[in-house]
Structure 1
Amino acid sequence: MSMNSSEGRINQERTVAIRSDAMPQLLGQPALRFLSLRGEEHLGKLYTYELLLRTPDDFHVPLSTSANLDLKAMIGTEMTVSVQLDGIGTGAEGGVGAGGREISGLVVKAGFLRTEGRYNVYRIVLRPWLWLATLTSDYKIFQDKTVVEIIDTVLSDYPYPVDKRLDVDKYTVQGESTRNEPRAFQVQYGETDFDFVQRLMEEWGIYWFFEHSGGKHRLVLCDHIGAHRRSPSAAYHEIRHHPEGGKIDIEYLNYFSTDESLRPGRVVVDDFDFTRPRALLVTSNHQPRETNWGEGELFEWPGDYTDSKHGDLISRVRMEERRAPGTRAFGKGNVRGIACGQTFTLTKHKHEEANREYLIIEAALMLTEIADESGSGYRYECNNELIVQPTSEVFRMPRETPKPTTSGPQSAIVVGPPGHEVWTDEFGRVKVRFLWDRYARNDATDSCWVRVSQAWAGVNFGGIYIPRIGQEVIVGFMNGDPDRPLILGSLYNTVTPPPWDLPGEATKSGFKSKTITGGRENYSGIRFEDKLGAEEFHMQAERDMNRLTKNNESHTVGVNLSMGIGLTHTRAVGGMFSSIVGGAASYAVGGAESTMIGGACALNVGGAYAIAVGGAMSTSVGGAYALNVGGALSIVCGASAINMTADGTIKLVGTKIRIVGSDEVVVQGSPLQLNPGCGDGAGAGGGGGGGAIPPIPLPSFFLRVTKPILPPPPPPPTVQPPPSVEPPPPSEAPPPSETPPPSETPPPSETPPPSEAPPPSEAPPPSEAPPPSEAPPPSETPPPSEAPPPSEAPPPSETPPPSEAPPPSETPPPSETPPPSEAPPPSEAPPPSEAPPPSEAPPPSEAPPPSEAPPPSEVPPPSEAPPPSEAPPPSEAPPPSEAPPPSETPPPSEAPPPSETPPPSEAPPPSETPPPSETPPPSEAPPPSETPPPSEAPPPSEAPPPSETPPPSETPPPSEAPPPSETPPPSETPPPSETPPPSETPPPSETPPPSEF
């Protein structure tokens, strides 16, 4: 340094210079000059340089002035220290590579230090601009970004240059699934910007250093040895080693030592990906050093990756990190032209292996200016220390920056896109807005998909609930890692209050959902009320409810059960259905009701039984029909009535009583009275119907009124008898319909229909009775007049006497009477169609006298012919009253045919008149027995005829009636005596009677 007293200022050439745009000025010159520099730089670490600067040694500048420089203007500005290099030396080889070196940094600290002689000393601290990142911390979420993209985003807030010398493709590895981005969700969790990027770079094998030039310092990011360069000055590409104690006129290293250390040789990492729970993500990297015990293995979990390819990268970086310190070297010298991050080659070292290329991973520099006592100027002293690593080894920063962990669960708000109330993915995950995320937009971009903990989770079974947008949830973190959030539950707040008002309804608990976009009352749920005395289990389905029980289900209700159905109730039972009511049962149907039973139906009423029909009522029986009344039986139709009592009394009451037998009418009784003067109700009624004859007592006799005119039914009917297989006859039911004659009391009129007998629907035939009226022959209503005989129903009880028909020993045929039930003979009704003879019936119309048919009563024997007509006897439901006969219902079973009897009934009687002669065919009588099928006559309701059941016993002969077609044989009527056997028919007939009723 030289001084020009004439100018009064310092004017000197200096080796070290200081530059700064904020440098204070004194007398138009920089107020601070270099005194000393001390600092160090390290790969991946923030450097620090400490400068001691002094004010000018000038008497024109008072110490008081130079001691009060404004240093605040310098804080945060960049300052550069320039060092002039000599190159190799000042000798013959001097000047080679001469140039300069710069050291730049931000002034982060400046202060007055002390006063020395004629100047004041200041202390300045320089740090790299990256140090500014230590002054900012944040909570921030980065989604679907690579580590390099995250670093760029963070550093973009600082206006300084960054040079990325990276193998970028390595950090954008495409894994086995598009879900597995390297950093799908990364959180800066309360860390400074520096700690955050530093931690990421340490995890991924990135390191950095600064290059100084042009008055600036530039950050360099690298991940491989090829990113490093040699010194800009060629003089420092090779550095000589020269032992201490000797001096040469060049820059050199006077100390250099190498170290070898024992390091692990394998690193294994593993992790778990819930999207592929069975995937093997374990990876390893093996790079042992050639030493003993070099096979040590380190295992890390979790590796913080979800794809095996990413795992390969992580395991390799971890292995390189552990292996790098295996070979290191330390050197000292006066080499001022080399810096951290540069490479050089060592030469002239006695240890040959030490002479190789090295990477400077750490460098310390000390420059001190010393004044030349001769006054000719200043000189400086330079010392530096180096830590280097062979360039054959990859450098990795050790993971020294700790990753933050959460100290417990946190609250968050579920978010989603506008217009949605629920937003989830295929795993039931949702997105949330963390309360610390000040950059959140309260939409689906606020976080990654966050898994939701469930009470139970299995293979397509378990429980699940999806938190809805706006709900507050509790968020925990796997292993305390902020990058792995997990929803643990939900919380209520004033915006999302509980489903029940608290604390007033604190005794209630349960589960309550909410209809999407619905109101408070639009929900499905289960509620439990635990208040003593008011315990309740409440269940609600906002719309449909479906329940499936794959085996048994049992319900027990201790008191009452009430069920209200707004529209339709359908129940399907694949097997049996049983319903037991311990008390009264009430069943009300507001509209129509239909019941269909595929099999048998039984109704057992222990007490009274009543049916009230407001309109019409129709009963159709396809087979036998039996009615068994233990007490009195009464049928009332306006002014008409039929009354029966258990003692065998039958009473017909009506303004007009008409009995029509298209074939014949048999009245049997002893004694038989017409219009007796007793004046009892029966007599009165009878008088009403038979005023043509004055009341007179009559001796006991049988009254038989036949309609000889009626031709005997054709033998075919007899064929029907063969169908003794009475069931078939039923099929013949049409003929049986003729059986209805028994019922004929009503049907009588229908007698004409007999021809219609086919319509066995017979029930209708009864209605057809009017048409019968048309059948003048049928007009043989006289038989109807015989209706009174029905009143004789008691006689049916007498049917036993018919049993007296010992001759009926032939009764066997009667037994066939069941066959008679086989209305087949009735089928002969067709013959009735032969009504022409019936036309002769008109005389029968005179039937009133025939009612006198008492002789016919004698007919009993011949009545066997009547028996056919006695299809009516089957109708003699009265016998049925003789429930015992009903047991004979078997014949009734033939009743089916009888059902058809109604129509036939009408014809049969006529034809039957002749049949009596056919007693021979009695065998055929069985068919007549089928007349019991007339029991089907029951439909005819003409129960009265049943009273005639006694004659039916004779019906067997009638069955023979078919042969009777051989009317001549009627003389054979004697055989009818066999009719007694038919009397056995009564039993069958009894079956019919039930049906009739």
Structure 2
Amino acid sequence: MAIDVSLTFPNSGVTGFEVHQVDYRDALNELFELTLDVTSTDAEVDLSGVVGEEIVVELSDEPFLKKVRGIVRRVRQLSAEPTGVSRYEIAVVPPLWLATRGTDHRIFQNLTADDVCKAVAGAYGGRIPAPVSLIASPERPAQEYRVQYGETDFDFMFRALADEGLISYFDHGAGGSDWVLAEETAFTDDGAPRVPFVPPLGTGMGAAGPTVSFIAITSSIETSMVTVRDYDFRKPEYVLEQQAETSQRAFVREATLERYEFLTNKVTAASEKRGAALARQYLEEARSERRTFECHTSFALGAGGRFTVERPPRADVNGQLLVLRSRCSIAEGADGRPVRRHVLVCAPAVDPWRPPRRPKPRIFGTQTAFVVGNKAGVDEIDVDEHGRVKVEFRWDRRDQHEGNPTRFVRVSQGWAGLDYGMVMPPRVNEEVIIAYLDGDPDEPIVVGRLHNAWNVSPLKLPAEKTRSIWKSKTSPGGEGFNQIMMEDKKGEELLELHAHRDNLVTVGANQTVNVGGDQKIHAGGKREDHVEGAVKQDYDTSLTTTVGGPQKTTAKDVTERYASQDTEIDGKRHTKAGAVDEDFASLKTTVKGLHEEEFGTTKLKGGDVGWEVGALDWKTKGLSWTLSGSGYIKAPSFVIDTPEFKVTNAGSHKEVKGAWETVKAAWNERTWHKLAFIGLDMKAVIAETKTFGRSVNIGYQKLDITGFKIDFAAFKMQNNAVNMKTIGTKIDKNAIQMTLVGIFSIA
């Protein structure tokens, strides 16, 4: 005989099943499952037309759980009887069960858990209805980054719900078996407000209506304090720690039992209150089932339902109860009447209930990903103020090559300290190695870089296997690079530093450069050296300086010391000085062209002076020679051309050798001396000498000297007044030699 339970398939039209037994299991934050034991007289029933179909099970005798709507998960044939009646087992689950059969690797950003559930359910194209949300708190923060990594869609969604302390249950009301999300148990179904307690023996046996016949209490020791701590790299010195402690004790001698949890980027310094909320949530989770009531009832009720027991057997059962887990069974009895076994595990509805958190997948190895920029093909480097980058994982099927496929991911550097360290931001399209903090898929971190067939190595391997290189690239464009290269091939060891543009070297104290071989410095533009202290340059062999353009040296004092110096100037030389003091052991100056000197006043002091020149032409405003010894002039010819010529000699004129063509003179006072002229020819045309007037007037005089020699042993010439006027005088001289023995003065 069948029980009073019917089933229908709204979309397939399959009929002919009789229900003999029903088992219903349900729990908060779980999927319900209804198992039916049915028979059919249709030996050719199409089971493939049943599996996956929507099914409606009506429980006519149940006062509260009257209808369950779901899909057929499985049909199993239990027996095939000769009479043609076959027995089947049909498993009914909510459409959400389909999520247990789908797994994925994907990323959700800036969504709350209920938003995640809606997004995942929506991917099933309507086969999984979106949840009904009873969440009203606007302060619940969206999680910046959440990863489903190899989990079923169901496990991922319900892990997200538990992480945020949200409650999930199914409302089997008139609209069907709706999936409901709630923030507090106060939002759960209140379908059975008051039910009397009727013990199995004694008065009340056979009472009409729903009853509670048995209540068993379970009390247990649970955590009474939760401490959470987190770390925010934006404020590393700040301790993010919060505590939550209960003031209620489940038993008399209950002592403080602390649960400490270190979180991973769940709380930041800017959202410190979130830490207090999580501590409270975890405490409520730990104490949700510290006291439960197992109620045997005459009615079925789904998880999330609430009811109140009238006339409870214990005072602590007084109050509304929340159904945590439900197991209801209806079967045919031996006498043909239905036998009901309903067990509801409840907790006081006034106590907060939080679902236990579900294990998160862990990635204890590493993965690779590619760095992306805000705009593909435009951004070459895209980092935030902390040097973080966004990456695209190979397992991310969105193939989002730009924008925000992930949140910003921190990057490990070779050295990181307070305003010091190594910083090499990953660039767009670089393949990077990803590790995970504590294996958490939500906490990726870049720990390395990789070359691939796209981003090839700057070295030609294996040919350049002895080289190590650190090479960057100009951005944007990539037309230049900076590089440090080390060649370790034996006999060819090399350290190369290449700067594409500028190179700045700053040394705080001393710098020593030792070059064992040659050193060459080439500057394509200007070079400027500034030394605040002293400069010392030692060259053990030679120094060659070649200046293609002008050279200018400015110094306060210059001291130069050479063993020898050879200076050769192809062009002009200009020297300007305030005063010049030169001290030479010997000095030889050779001028191939014109030698021109201009002085204000010139004073020469030294030993003998010997001149050997082709011709000597002096132009001076005045001339005064003072000879401390004898004077000697020797020349093939000698001409003195002057309007006035005066020779003063205090001594005597010893000898003048030569010949006078015509000499006419009158002497007022004279002392004759021997004059010898050797090769002297003097010709005068119009000459007059007036002795007493001491005047010589010469109209024209020509003096040709082919050889002229004056030997003064003792020469004296005294004139009281001499006035010589020369209209025209010409002196041609080939050589003049003056040998001074005594004193020679011309005034």
TM-score by structure 1 length?
0.61
Q: Report the counterpart of residue 402 of structure 1 in structure 2.
A: 359
Work out which of the residue numbers 251, 254, 258 in structure 2 matches 1:293.
254
Cα distance per residue 1:694-728 (max 9 Å; x no partner): xxxxx99699xxxxxxxxxxxxxxxxxxxxxxxxx
Q: Report the counterpart of residue 33 of structure 2 in structure 1.
A: 48
Distance 2:105 2:446 in 1: 19
Specify the code of the residue in structure 2 equivalent to 1:279. Answer: Y
What secondary structure is seen at the aligned counterpart in 2 of 1:402?
A: coil
Q: Report the counterpart of residue 602 of structure 1 in structure 2.
A: 559
Cα distance per residue 1:666-686 (max 9 Å; x no partner): 34433x3343xxxxxxx45xx
Cα distance per residue 1:808-835 (max 9 Å; x no partner): xxxxxxxxxxxxxxxxxxxxxxxxxxxx
Counterparts of 1:303-314 in structure 2, within 5 Å, are 304-306=266-268, 307-314=271-278
Q: Report the counterpart of residue 164 of structure 2 in structure 1.
A: 204
* Post-superposition offset of 1:623: 2.4
Q: Report the counterpart of residue 68 of structure 1 in structure 2.
A: 44
Q: Report the counterpart of residue 693 of structure 2 in structure 1.
A: none
Q: Report the counterpart of residue 322 of structure 2 in structure 1.
A: 359
* Post-superposition offset of 1:490: 0.5
Contact 1:702-1:855 within 8 A present in 2 as well: no
Q: Report the counterpart of residue 19 of structure 1 in structure 2.
A: 8
Work out which of the residue numbers 422, 425, 447 in structure 2 matches 1:463.
422
* Post-superposition offset of 1:131: 1.0
Contact 2:105-2:151 within 8 A present in 1 as well: yes
- Unmatched 5+ stretches in structure 1: 2-11, 57-65, 88-98, 173-181, 373-377, 676-682, 693-698, 704-787, 793-838, 864-912, 914-997
What secondary structure is seen at the aligned counterpart in 1 of 2:138?
A: helix
Distance 1:554 1:608 in 2: 30
Q: Report the counterpart of residue 525 of structure 1 in structure 2.
A: 483
Q: Report the counterpart of residue 703 of structure 2 in structure 1.
A: none
Counterparts of 1:659-674 in structure 2, within 5 Å, are 660=620, 662=622, 664-670=624-630, 672-674=631-633
* Post-superposition offset of 1:512: 0.6
Contact 2:640-2:729 within 8 A present in 1 as well: no
Contact 2:195-2:212 within 8 A present in 1 as well: no
Percent of pairs identical after alignment? 25
Cα distance per residue 1:78-111 (max 9 Å; x no partner): 2222222486xxxxxxxxxxx8711222111113
Contact 2:627-2:743 within 8 A present in 1 as well: no
What secondary structure is seen at the aligned counterpart in 2 of 1:550?
A: coil
Q: Report the counterpart of residue 601 of structure 2 in structure 1.
A: none
Q: Report the counterpart of residue 568 of structure 1 in structure 2.
A: 526
Distance 1:702 1:225 in 2: 150
Equivalent pairs counted in the alignment come to 653
Distance 2:356 2:48 in 1: 37
Distance 1:305 1:585 in 2: 70
Q: Report the counterpart of residue 135 of structure 2 in structure 1.
A: 166
Q: Report the counterpart of residue 484 of structure 1 in structure 2.
A: 443
Specify the code of the residue in structure 2 equivalent to 1:238. Answer: V
Q: Report the counterpart of residue 687 of structure 2 in structure 1.
A: none
Counterparts of 1:586-985 in structure 2, within 5 Å, are 586-599=544-557, 601-615=558-572, 617-630=573-586, 648=608, 650-656=610-616, 658=618, 660=620, 662=622, 664-670=624-630, 672-675=631-634, 683=635, 687=637
Contact 2:65-2:172 within 8 A present in 1 as well: no
Distance 2:130 2:345 in 1: 27
What secondary structure is seen at the aligned counterpart in 2 of 1:200?
A: helix
TM-score by structure 2 length?
0.80
Cα distance per residue 1:218-269 (max 9 Å; x no partner): 11111212112322xx6x6323232446622324222112222222211001
Contact 2:322-2:347 within 8 A present in 1 as well: yes
Specify the code of the residue in structure 2 equivalent to 1:153. Answer: A
* Post-superposition offset of 1:184: 0.8
Distance 1:145 1:700 in 2: 127
* Post-superposition offset of 1:356: 2.4
What secondary structure is seen at the aligned counterpart in 1 of 2:140?
A: helix
Specify the code of the residue in structure 2 equivalent to 1:254. Answer: S
Contact 1:206-1:221 within 8 A present in 2 as well: yes
Q: Report the counterpart of residue 116 of structure 2 in structure 1.
A: 150
Cα distance per residue 1:872-915 (max 9 Å; x no partner): xxxxxxxxxxxxxxxxxxxxxxxxxxxxxxxxxxxxxxxxx7xx
Cα distance per residue 1:775-807 (max 9 Å; x no partner): xxxxxxxxxxxxx9xxx9xxxxxxxxxxxxxxx
Distance 1:81 1:253 in 2: 24
Specify the code of the residue in structure 2 equivalent to 1:188. Answer: Q
1:321 aligns with 2:285: yes
* Post-superposition offset of 1:113: 1.4
Contact 1:242-1:348 within 8 A present in 2 as well: no
* Post-superposition offset of 1:342: 1.3
* Post-superposition offset of 1:17: 2.0
Distance 1:657 1:603 in 2: 36
Specify the code of the residue in structure 1 equivalent to 2:341. Answer: N
1:193 aligns with 2:142: no
Specify the code of the residue in structure 2 equivalent to 1:396. Answer: R
Work out which of the residue numbers 544, 549, 562 in structure 1 matches 2:502.
544
Q: Report the counterpart of residue 582 of structure 1 in structure 2.
A: 540
* Post-superposition offset of 1:609: 2.6
Q: Which moved more, 1:590-599 or 1:430-439?
A: 590-599
Q: Report the counterpart of residue 108 of structure 1 in structure 2.
A: 73
What secondary structure is seen at the aligned counterpart in 1 of 2:415?
A: coil
Work out which of the residue numbers 295, 302, 306 in structure 2 matches 1:339.
302
Specify the code of the residue in structure 1 equivalent to 2:488. Answer: D
Distance 2:488 2:304 in 1: 75
Q: Report the counterpart of residue 511 of structure 2 in structure 1.
A: 553
Could you say if the C-alpha distance between residues 701 and 667 of structure 1 is closer, same or farther in structure 2, counting changes exceeding 3 Å? farther
Cα distance per residue 1:346-376 (max 9 Å; x no partner): 122332322322111112111123586xxxx
Specify the code of the residue in structure 1 equivalent to 2:100. Answer: T
Q: Report the counterpart of residue 503 of structure 1 in structure 2.
A: 462
Specify the code of the residue in structure 1 equivalent to 2:287. Answer: R
Q: Report the counterpart of residue 702 of structure 2 in structure 1.
A: none
What secondary structure is seen at the aligned counterpart in 1 of 2:60?
A: strand
Specify the code of the residue in structure 2 equivalent to 1:367. Answer: I
* Post-superposition offset of 1:293: 2.9
What secondary structure is seen at the aligned counterpart in 2 of 1:248?
A: coil
Distance 2:738 2:284 in 1: 134
Specify the code of the residue in structure 1 equivalent to 2:293. Answer: A
Q: Which structure shows the bigger proportion of residues in strand conformation?
A: 2
Contact 2:71-2:93 within 8 A present in 1 as well: yes
Q: Which moved more, 1:530-539 or 1:102-111?
A: 102-111
Q: Which has the higher contact order (CA 8 A, sep 6+)?
A: 1
Contact 2:105-2:147 within 8 A present in 1 as well: yes
Could you say if the C-alpha distance between residues 690 and 108 of structure 1 is closer, same or farther in structure 2, counting changes exceeding 3 Å? same
Specify the code of the residue in structure 2 equivalent to 1:571. Answer: D
What secondary structure is seen at the aligned counterpart in 1 of 2:289?
A: helix
Specify the code of the residue in structure 1 equivalent to 2:147. Answer: V
- Unmatched 5+ stretches in structure 2: 598-603, 643-648, 654-707, 713-721
1:133 aligns with 2:99: yes
Q: Which structure shows the bigger proportion of residues in helix conformation?
A: 1
Q: Report the counterpart of residue 82 of structure 1 in structure 2.
A: 58
Could you say if the C-alpha distance between residues 328 and 162 of structure 1 is closer, same or farther in structure 2, counting changes exceeding 3 Å? same
Could you say if the C-alpha distance between residues 630 and 269 of structure 1 is closer, same or farther in structure 2, counting changes exceeding 3 Å? same
Cα distance per residue 1:570-601 (max 9 Å; x no partner): 222223222222222222222222222222x2
* Post-superposition offset of 1:450: 0.9
Work out which of the residue numbers 211, 217, 225 in structure 2 matches 1:266.
225
